[in-house]
Amino acid sequence: MKDSMQAKLGQLVRRLDEIDVALSQESATDDLDQFRRLSRERAEIEPLVLGFRDFQSASNDLATAQQMLSDPEMRELAEEEESSAKRRIAQLEEHLQRLLLPTDPNDERNTFLEIRAGTGGEESALFAGALLRMYMRFAERRHWKTEMISESPSDLGGYKEVIVRIIGHGAYSQLKFESGVHRVQRVPETEAQGRIHTSACTVAVLPEADEINEVHIDPSEIRVDVFRASGAGGQHVNKTESAVRITHLATGIVVECQDDRSQHKNKERALKVLAARLKDAQMRAQQQQEATTRRSLVGSGDRSERIRTYNFPQGRVTDHRINLTLYKIDQIMDGDLEELSRALTAEHQAEQLASLAETA
């Protein structure tokens, strides 16, 4: 283990001792906010400290075994102990490296999922509908709640654009690598000659701000327009101006919401989407400033890049960022995204480990 990593872990050992002393004081609960903050910090540090102590213990076992090698009578046992200690040290070092990886503060947040039809006309809109169903089924498998925010249906039952709020623990962490261009290759239902068409949709995954106030929205910088809802809705449609369009003048971001009959609720939802988009823009600006030459496709979230291809005739899904091809397109389109999600997360962690090794 590198000296810099051991020094960092040594600091955490000392910090844990400081926290334990503070929490053991009779006055520890006088300030409940401080008590909760220290308790959370302790919960985050303890696994690292325990792992480091195990590492130190294994290192001591290795040193003892190597000392025993000089004794002919103990040599065979010492070699076994040395080999076992080395394996244990390697496992613990990898475990500690992963625990030291920086965590994304947005991982546990709810998320806004936006799908927009791209090249391919009506076929692209139909594919947008298929992607929406895929993500809704994935959310259902995870026992997450979903809430339709905005939808713009196409003539044949797809979507020109659709925005859904997904509510659930870790929703953003599970979906954040879905941002990008999704390409489909299949024979459209409208194709009489049986020719394969290629079309694409853009997916954007935005972490929800805890509160609108987390992202400052100056009322003087937005324009709120109300209009009559369009689409399905029976007699209610076009009778009341319940739909809301909010334009953020400083950035040009426009958000529409017309799913609810209440103008107030539509405005509230539209403001949440606007806050998420502004937060996303802030995050991307910060990421660009911090970007290095080791910038990963997985972590970049560049929406101009084709990230995945769904080839229906061959029954395969290929994620181009990690060169992973799975021949289970039916299961994936039915929301079975676990294997893709795990592989993308593992690749992202590998990139983080490589960066950690370079800077350590």
Task: Give the per-residue pLDDT at 233.
Answer: 46
Task: Give the per-residue pLDDT at 214.
Answer: 60
Residue 327 region, left (φ>0) first, then alpha (ψ -120 to 50), else beta? beta
Q: Rounded to two decimals, what is the model's pTM?
A: 0.63
Task: Give the per-residue pLDDT at 177.
Answer: 92
Task: Give the per-residue pLDDT at 200.
Answer: 92
Q: Which domains does the chain have, with CATH numbers?
A: 3-100 (1.20.58), 111-287+301-350 (3.30.70.1660)
Task: Give the per-residue pLDDT at 329.
Answer: 96
Task: Give the per-residue pLDDT at 264.
Answer: 85
Residue 234 region, left (φ>0) first, then alpha (ψ -120 to 50), else beta? left
Long-range Cβ contact pairs of 320-328 (< 8 A, separation 24 or more): 321/177, 321/297, 321/347, 322/298, 322/347
Task: Give the per-residue pLDDT at 305.
Answer: 61
Give 108's contacts (C-beta < 8 A, 6+ positions apart). Answer: 169, 170, 172, 173
pLDDT digits (tens, 9 = 90+) for 150-178: 889 988 889 999 999 999 988 999 999 99
Long-range Cβ contact pairs of 95-101 (< 8 A, separation 24 or more): 95/51, 96/1, 96/5, 96/9, 96/48, 96/51, 96/52, 96/55, 97/5, 97/353, 97/356, 98/349, 98/353, 99/47, 99/48, 99/51, 100/5, 100/8, 100/48, 100/356, 101/349, 101/352, 101/353, 101/356
Task: Give the per-residue pLDDT at 103.
Answer: 76
In one letter, which amino acid is 144?
W
Task: Give the per-residue pLDDT at 236.
Answer: 45
* Low-confidence residues of the chain: pLDDT under 70: 190, 192, 210-214, 230-240, 286-305, 356-360
